[in-house]
Each structure stands twice: as C-alpha cells, then as structure tokens.
Amino acid sequence: MARATAKQQRAATTKDARVFPVIMAGGSGTRFWPLSRVARPKQFLPLATGRPLIVETLARLKGVAPPRQTFVVCGALHAPLVRKALPAVPKPNVLVEPQARNTAPAIALATAAVAHLDPRGVLVVLPSDQHVADVAAFQASVAEAVELARAGHIVTLGIHPTRPETGYGYIQVGEPLSGTARRVSRFAEKPDRPTAEQYLVSGEYLWNAGLFVFRADVMLEAFKHHMPALAAALEPIRAAWGTRRAERALARHFPDMPATSIDYGIAEKASNIAVVPSRCGWSDVGSFNALPEVRPTDESGNVAVGKDVFLIDAAGCVVVAKDRPIAVVGMKDVVVVDAGDAMLVLPKERSQDVRKVVEALKAKKRLSLL
C-alpha cells in the first residue's frame, strides 16, 4: 500500500484535531449593579435561570467537547469563583491573566495553551455571560463552524437580528461558502436607529455575538501577520509553556501585548473570515432591560425574581428581591432591585445608565458597594 503523502497526513491530522472550548470570563458587568460587584461580576450571577451564566455556558458545550478540554480565561480576583463554579474544568485549564488587556491578548493566551497540546486544535471561544435558549441549534452552528475552522477559516457566529438593535455590532455577510456559511464582507460598529433599521430590512446583516472558532496554528499566523507586537510578546510565553519558567514569562511579557479586541486586531483585517448564521435564541443579557427576553413573564409582562415580590396593577416591570419583600403598585416599565445592602430603582428604558451609579460610587469612594 502506498504511503500517504505529507499533505494527506496533514489533512488527516486536521480532520481529527480536537476541539477546545475557551470561556472568556474577564468581564466586570457594571450594568447589573447592585447585584454585580467587582468581586462577583455578571457571569457569576443567575440572571437567565437559577444557575450562574458561566455555569450555563459550560453546560451548553456538552457534546461540543468534554470539560477536560475546556479552558477558562479570567483575572486573578475571579479565578477562585471560576474554580468553584466549574469544578469539572481542570485547575490548570483556568488561565489567569496578569492584568486585563482586552480580548486579543486573552485569546492569544488560550491559543498558546491549546497549541501546546495540539498545534492544529480547534478553539471555540465564547463569552461567559450570554444566554442561549435553543442549545441544540447553538451546538449545530458550532459544529458547522468547527468544520470550517478545520479547513483554515477563522469563523464567527452571527445571530439573525429580530429587531433594529443599536447596542450590538453587526456583520455584513458576503458570498456563500459551504452549508449555511458565508464570507464576511465587513464588521459594522454599533449603528444609530435609522441605520439599524436599514440593516434589518436588507437581510444582509447579522448580530455579532463575539464567538470565534479557529485552529490554533491559523490564529498564531494571523497574530504574526496582523498583530506583530502581540505575537512578539506571546512567543516567550509559548516557549516557556509547561516549564517552571511559565509563570514568570507570563507575568513579564503579557503586559507588553497591545490592549486590543480580537475584532479590531484580527477579524476586521484577516481575509479568511467566515460567518455561520444562527437562530439559537441568543441574548447577551446586557442589562436589566433584557431580563424579559430570558426570564418567564406574567400576563402583564413583569419579571419577578424572589419569593416575596408583589406586583399590583403593574406592567412591564423587572423586580428582583433578595431577602426583603418588595411590593410594586401602579407602576409601568420600572426596574427595582434589592441586593440586601443596596437598592436600585429606575425606568427600564434607562437600564444602561446603571453604570453611572457605579461611577458615582467611585467618585464618592464608596468602595464597599463596588
């Protein structure tokens, strides 16, 4: 029998390459104050279900890859919370950033970890603080993205928009590839309302969910080509991986990486970007205003979390009670949140302004409430 050529061997190796999910858990989640705090940000809160968002994130990866092949990238402050919330993830797979440097350095760190195990391993990088209602549809989209990534594409998941949302980035789709996949024509920043309406009507745009799938070697090459300063800082970290020098190399060289997002650093520049459209009931759970999208509502559109919430002649309200009873009477479209040591009340339409409360607390040095 003739021996396989080097090209055939590489193709077989790529086809069998393992899948390594990477959960990004570095966010601060200030829009969910007073529930979220510096030491317990959004991803550790049970916002969509009775389980924290990060636990739900790992659960929906069942069937994609086992927990032993899953990595989590986070800061030192949150590493104990990650290990407690996700005990099935091996302790060495919790990658701790020396400092927050945006998503490109975080993904570079995870890529180095996977490349050490399998240079052609496929990373499925996803945020830890989102919600997916249709897990089967999500897994099918990821499976399609993995096959494209094995062929050398850098793939993102695009969500079919359901409204002219101004709080999300968009992806303009290009020519068809295999299956449902399309080439990416461009990434668009968060639009104003008229532009978002045009995007929705055109049918050419998808929401950018911030989820990327790629081979480790492909991303390392992309870093060298598009982000050489990051690649240069990553090289000594890669060289020391798995040795006693690893921790020292990480502390020394990670801060030299440009604090840039993967969208700006790679996705907007690379030519091999593809998108898989998905209808998986996705939500970024970006504010209290989003809870009716992911939580059951009563006949008046209210969301009530807690056993002692009383809603009388109220409609479209979001009420979260911790220990004390909360009664809301004759109100419409308000948010009321009791965290025990602090309370928040505001119109639902101003949910994004919660971060202004955090800024005010910082200005008054009320650090115990942050």
User: What are the strands, taking DSSP E only, across 39-138?
Assistant: 71-75, 94-97, 122-127, 131-132
pLDDT mean over 164-192? 93
CA distance 184 to 154: 10
The predicted pLDDT at position 17 comes to: 73
pLDDT mean over 248-277? 95
pLDDT mean over 166-183? 93
Two structure tokens written together for 288: 């209290």
pLDDT mean over 240-248? 94
Give the tens place of pLDDT for each residue, 65-100: 999 999 999 999 999 999 999 999 999 999 999 999
Q: How does the average pLDDT of the chain come out, rounded?
A: 93
pLDDT of 3 > 80? The answer is: no
Two structure tokens written together for 102: 């945006």
Q: Which runs of consecutive H residues, i.e. helices, occur in 191-304?
A: 193-202, 216-226, 228-240, 246-253, 262, 291-294
The predicted pLDDT at position 61 comes to: 96
The predicted pLDDT at position 16 comes to: 60
The predicted pLDDT at position 217 comes to: 98
CA distance 9 to 16: 11
pLDDT mean over 354-364? 93
Q: Are 124 and 112 within 8 A, CB to CB? A: no
The predicted pLDDT at position 194 comes to: 95
The predicted pLDDT at position 15 comes to: 59
The CA-based angle 196-199-200, given to 5 degrees, is: 90
φ, ψ of residue 310 in degrees (nearest 5): -120, 115
The predicted pLDDT at position 28 comes to: 74
The pTM of the whole model exceeds 0.85: yes
CA distance 355 to 284: 17
CA nearest to 33, candidates 364, 349, 363, 335: 335
Q: Give the position of tokens 């009775």.
A: 50
The predicted pLDDT at position 14 comes to: 53
The predicted pLDDT at position 323 comes to: 85
CA distance 210 to 40: 22
DSSP line for 113-138: HHHHH-TTPEEEEEESS-EES-HHHH
φ, ψ of residue 250 in degrees (nearest 5): -65, -45
Two structure tokens written together for 39: 């030491």
The predicted pLDDT at position 174 comes to: 94
Give the tens place of pLDDT for each residue, 90-144: 999 999 999 999 999 999 999 999 999 999 999 999 999 999 999 999 999 999 9
The predicted pLDDT at position 1 comes to: 38
What confidence category does residue 26 fall into, taking pLDDT thresholds of 50, 70 and 90?
A: confident
CA distance 122 to 137: 20
User: What are the strands, taking DSSP E only, across the chain?
Assistant: 19-24, 71-75, 94-97, 122-127, 131-132, 154-159, 170-176, 182-188, 205-215, 273-278, 282-283, 303-305, 309-312, 318-320, 326-329, 334-338, 343-347
CA nearest to 318, candidates 344, 340, 299, 292: 292
pLDDT mean over 244-270? 95
pLDDT of 2 > 50? The answer is: no
